[in-house]
């Protein structure tokens, strides 16, 4: 009998537009706008027409957010960068997230000393 690991954070199959907009602290209208502008965003829609974003969609939004909001790319520049070099951008985002987590850990360590 296999023992399940309940400590692991479970990943949802679908996220609502509200959940996605909260993840990035942006308005839902911006997510809808990016959906129209970027071909890589293709959320599914339920019978009511509500958008349901997969983990891949959230990952793509993370790339778009990084390029547009953090690096200051124009929409056209971000589209071009994603089409040319998506793997490299994803790696940069992961490195940034790791550095942010390390910084937070070091600040907490400093406070505890």
Instruction: Provide the pLDDT for residue 87.
Output: 66
Domains and CATH numbers, the chain: 15-112 (1.10.1660.10)
| DSSP E strands, the chain | 15-16, 44-45, 51-53
β-strands 51-53, 15-16 pairing: antiparallel
CB 51 within 8 A of CB 35: yes
Q: Give the integer Cα–Cα distance in Å for 87 and 83.
A: 10
Ordered mean pLDDT values, 10 residues apiece, the chain (113 residues): 46 90 95 94 92 92 92 92 76 81 89 88
Spatial distance between the Cα atoms of 79 and 3, rounded to a whole number of angstroms: 44
């Amino acid at each position: 009998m296999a023992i399940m690991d309940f400590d692991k954070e479970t990943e949802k199959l679908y996220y609502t537009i509200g959940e996605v907009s909260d993840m990035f602290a942006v308005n839902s209208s911006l997510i809808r706008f990016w959906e129209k502008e970027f071909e890589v965003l293709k959320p599914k829609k339920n019978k009511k027409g509500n958008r349901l974003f997969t983990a891949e969609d959230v990952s793509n939004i993370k790339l778009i957010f990084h390029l547009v909001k953090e690096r200051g790319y124009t929409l056209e520049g971000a589209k071009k960068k994603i089409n040319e070099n998506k793997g490299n951008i994803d790696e940069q985002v992961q490195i940034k997230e790791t550095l942010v987590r390390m910084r937070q850990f070091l600040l907490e360590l400093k406070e505890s000393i």
